[in-house]
Amino acid sequence: MPNRHSQLAGLSYWLVRFWSDGWRDPIPPPNALYRCGVCGAAALRAQFADLGQLKMAEMAYDVDLLASGPDRVKVMQVMRRLTGADLSQALSWLQDGPSRIATGLRLDDRERLTGALGAMGAVCSIHAREIAPGSPAAWFAAPALQDADDVETLRAQLHAPGLDDEGETALRLALYQHWNAPFREASVTWLPGDQRDGAQQDNARRLASLLREHDDYERLLKANLARERSDHASASILLTGDFGDYEPLAARLRLLVETKQSAVAVFGPSDFE
């Protein structure tokens, strides 16, 4: 997981709408989970990032001179210049018929040599060989990563071995935002957190315990968790002090707490004028 308090970094309050639970649109936060396009396994985004990138096979090329063409002198000069051959070696290539004039070239060097000889009218053949394998072909054909932020997959990943606090925080915040999703529609009646089912309440309590109060962004999220379960007193305490870059959002949350509004709320550009 990237820096846990960088969720809003680089985003303008004029470009996106921010929701009180950390969701935003039309540029949503990065997924907590992704699924491998090859094997279908789901894992935290940071775990996929550690795997690196697709790698092409490393190739080497051998070049044979089949025919020198009409200008043997210029062809000989090109071969000497680009292969480092001495005069006697270059002459033997011209006189002996098909001759191997270079081995183990990288792609750029091969193209430079065969391109220059071809411009002189010479004819070459190229032999490619793999000297270091690349990623399997199936990896290139499949999507690198697929979204996996559905509720069941998120809940299953909570039991993954080796899950640390940062990973658990990412999963539980994503779950919380998913369960809040229906209430982003104005036509859906809000259900406070303390009236949700047991799994949702357990998730919210555990998430609150994981969020770090010394971190401005996480304290903001923790205050909102308290507000959305109608615990406005705790939310008010958490919202004291300055929130640095997140102060515009903290100011909006304070207004909601003062008026004892618990519903998930959205803040647009007009809220930050």
CATH classification at residue 100: 3.30.1390
Residue with the bigger pLDDT between 14 and 25: it is: 25
Q: Which of these three, 80, 98, 132, is where a domain ends?
A: 132
Nearest to 5 by CA among 220, 252, 174, 172: 220
pLDDT computed for residue 54 by the predictor: 64
Contacts (Cβ under 8 Å, ≥6 apart) of 3: 9
SS3 at position 7: coil
Residue 163 and residue 229 share a domain: yes
Residue 128 and residue 157 share a domain: no
Residue 114 and residue 185 share a domain: no
* CA dihedral sign, ordered 238, 240, 246, 248: positive
Residue 193 and residue 123 share a domain: no
Residue 88 and residue 185 share a domain: no
The answer to whether position 143 is within a domain reads no
Decide if pLDDT at 169 tops 90: yes
The answer to whether position 79 is within a domain reads yes
pLDDT computed for residue 74 by the predictor: 92
Q: Which of these three, 104, 132, 160, is where a domain ends?
A: 132
The answer to whether position 165 is within a domain reads yes
The answer to whether position 62 is within a domain reads no
Nearest to 217 by CA among 5, 1, 2: 5
Residue 92 and residue 158 share a domain: no
pLDDT bracket for residue 6 (50, 70, 90): very low
pTM for this predicted structure: 0.63
Containing domain of residue 103, as a range? Answer: 68-132
Q: For the chain, what's the residue count?
A: 273
Number of H helices, E strands in the chain: 11, 9
Residue 267 and residue 167 share a domain: yes
pLDDT bracket for residue 4 (50, 70, 90): very low
Buried b (16+ CB within 10 A) or exposed e, 175-188: bbbbbbeebbeeee
The answer to whether position 55 is within a domain reads no
The answer to whether position 61 is within a domain reads no
H-assigned helices in 44-136: 45-49, 72-83, 87-95, 107-119
pLDDT bracket for residue 36 (50, 70, 90): confident
The answer to whether position 224 is within a domain reads yes
CA distance between the termini of the chain: 32
The answer to whether position 121 is within a domain reads yes
User: How many domains in the chain?
Assistant: 2
